[in-house]
Amino acid sequence: MSGKCSVYKSRPINSMALTTEQNEAQARMIARTCPSYGTTDQVADLNATRFGTEVCLPIVSVDPDEISTYKQAGVDSCTMCEHYVKPSNLVQASFAPTNVLNVGRGMGLCAARGTVIHDVTCAVVCDMRSKGASAGFDTTLLGMAKMFPEYSRAAIDKFRTDASRAAGRISVLPENFEPSTYSSGNIPQEYYEMGIRAWVPLSDPSGTGNVVQLPVFRRDFFSEEDQALIPNTNDEEHPELYVDHGGVTYDVAVAWSELDETPAAWGAPGLGKTELARQMAWIMQLPFVRISITGTSELDDLEGKMMFLDGETKFQEGRVVKGWKRPCVMLIDEPNVGPREVWQFLRPLTDNSKQLVVDADSGRPVSRDPFCYLMFAMNPAWDMRNDGTNDLADADIRRLFHVEMTLPPRDLEMSIIRARCALDGFTIPENLLKMVMDISTGIRKSSDNHDLPISWGIGTQIKVARYLNWFDPIRAYRLAAADSLDPDVRDLVLNEVRTHYTPGVV
């Protein structure tokens, strides 16, 4: 059932399948094509009280320094959007609200949102942007427009401080950082020959004033095989969207560049341990080598073994040995679940000598490439949900640089979920997103109390949110995780969903 236009009597204006906000946006878009638009009292009353009093709220869900990612839609400014109403047209329109016209400056309107545009650059992250013919913008009025408060530099810095850093620490990358084009000026020839084309400074977000620098490599330095392993902006994993709410980018950079230690990221599944390592490789434009360890991992796969090749017996190097010898970010994922011989093989990589001895090849020592950055990602053994994990020996704990991965603040987690859904072209309604967050509170409480054998991290939250574009909440939660659980435990999850969701009413 839907409302209909009195002029185009057969054309639906809204639908019960859409949220109130979506219906309002649809009504405005339809209105723009109507010959009576702006000429009737009904149009004059079209949320006129909202003009000038409520700013538009596009998706502020990516790291502001990485907003350039969203420019791929080709709408860098509201003036390029088909929903833009330029100030000169607004002045002439009979429906123009007086509280806009009397403020002494020309500001355009967003026909999709029904809001005043204070900064045309907000289109970069707007979920309603649509490239097309617009009315244009009077350049004489451009300088008169007030900066859209949510997108001023000060507001962005505040967003990064308040949301990204609950402990008062913020992301440490330079403004608008894009590694493929980043330049730090002339690089000495000796560094260029090593593959380095820039150095990127990372400031301590705790405010100590300390700065650490990471190298940024040139792509043509690597073989085609290695180039394929370098994380890029807009890859399927989208490393540019990683939100460092714990400020650990700086921590890991110090461990590698200044202390020559091996960082170990600790945390439950789905908290971003792997994505942290991928982001570091993205920053430095290095191949990302991920090696996952399981209870059945074989030492030969990591170290190598003697094989009969080309008519003679030769030593075939394993994955760790190959990574150790070349510039890369090498992540050893869950080494504390592997067989004991695997950990004994990895242990010398973390001591002061950082030397790899290949016992399978007559004890041959293999020196580490100076730009091979090793990192571990582990689930803690003390958590009974991490079945199969082993405690580390005291000596191993002393050798590692420990980084705890935690859940972000609620508002930031919601922003992360919005951003990931947006990559699917899905603008998750706020009521559904709030429901997902409210449900997670109960599920996480049950998980922490060990009533659930699984954790409920951001990764699982994103799965559920993406599924909601296609399935009702009960089905989405079953497909995301619940159907893998014991029936009694599954019902515990689904009962939490039913507490916040009534079929037919979202």
Beta bridge partners of 212: 202
Residue 161 lies in a domain: no
Residue 95 lies in a domain: yes
pLDDT value for 506: 54
Choose the final residue of a domain: 374, 404, 434.
Answer: 404
Q: Are residues 374 and 235 in the same domain?
A: yes
Residue 15 lies in a domain: no
Residue 29 lies in a domain: yes
Pairing of strands 115-116, 196-203: unpaired
Residue type, 167: A
Residue 4 lies in a domain: no
Neighbours of 231 (CB within 10 A): 25
Q: Are residues 121 and 227 in the same domain?
A: no
The string of DSSP letters for 51-91 reads TTTSB------S-GGGGGGGGGGS--SGGGBTTEE-HHHHH
Residue 14 lies in a domain: no
Domain count, the chain: 3
Q: Which helix (H) or strand (E) holds 21?
A: helix 20-31
Q: Is 28 helix (H, G, I), strand (E, B) or coil?
A: helix
Could you state, in chain order, the average pLDDT of each consecutive group of 10 residues for the chain (506 residues)? 41 49 56 48 33 38 50 67 67 35 48 66 72 48 34 40 42 81 88 93 85 94 95 89 85 93 89 93 96 88 84 86 94 89 87 80 87 92 72 84 89 90 91 95 90 88 95 95 91 93 70
pLDDT value for 87: 59
Q: Are residues 148 and 192 in the same domain?
A: no
Q: Are residues 289 and 174 in the same domain?
A: yes
Neighbours of 180 (CB within 10 A): 11
Q: What is the pTM of this model?
A: 0.61
Quick check: 349 and 307 in contact, CB under 8 A?
A: no
* 272/368 Cα distance (integer angstroms): 27
* 106/110 Cα distance (integer angstroms): 14
Residue 2 lies in a domain: no
**In sequence order, which residues have a C-beta less than 8 Å from that of residue 26 and are 6 or more positions away?**
13, 14, 15, 18
Q: Are residues 400 and 414 in the same domain?
A: no
CATH number at residue 235: 3.40.50.300
Q: Are residues 127 and 243 in the same domain?
A: no
pLDDT value for 400: 92
DSSP category for residue 16: T
Give Cα separations from 439 to 261, 333, 447, 477 (angstroms): 40, 29, 12, 10
Q: Are residues 127 and 196 in the same domain?
A: no
Q: Is 407 helix (H, G, I), strand (E, B) or coil?
A: coil
Q: Are residues 222 and 133 in the same domain?
A: no
Closest to 241 measured CA to CA, from 157, 178, 163, 151: 178
pLDDT value for 144: 34
Q: Half-sphere exposure of 97 toward its Cβ, with a 13 Å CA cutoff?
A: 19
**In sequence order, which residues have a C-beta less than 8 Å from that of residue 239 and are 6 or more positions away?**
231, 232, 233, 275, 278, 279, 281, 282
Q: Are residues 427 and 393 in the same domain?
A: no
Which tokens belong to 166?
């609950």
**In sequence order, which residues have a C-beta less than 8 Å from that of residue 11 and are 6 or more positions away?**
4, 5, 30
| Torsion from C-alpha of 425, 430, 435, 440, nearest 10 degrees | 70
Q: Are residues 231 and 302 in the same domain?
A: yes
Q: Are residues 195 and 326 in the same domain?
A: yes
Choose the final residue of a domain: 404, 429, 461.
Answer: 404
Residue with tokens 């997108």: 151
Give Cα separations from 345 to 203, 302, 325 (angstroms): 35, 9, 16
Range of the domain at 135: 21-153
- Torsion region of 314: left, alpha or beta (phi above 0 gives left; psi -120 to 50 gives alpha): beta
Choose the final residue of a domain: 404, 424, 458.
Answer: 404
Q: In what order do the strands lie in the sheet with 288-292?
A: 288-292, 328-333, 372-378, 262-266, 400-404
What's 376-390 look like in SS3?
EEECCCCCCCCCCCC
Rg, C-alpha atoms of the chain: 27
Residue 456 lies in a domain: yes
Q: Are residues 143 and 253 in the same domain?
A: no
Residue with tokens 């004489």: 140
Residues making up the chain, counted from first to last: 506
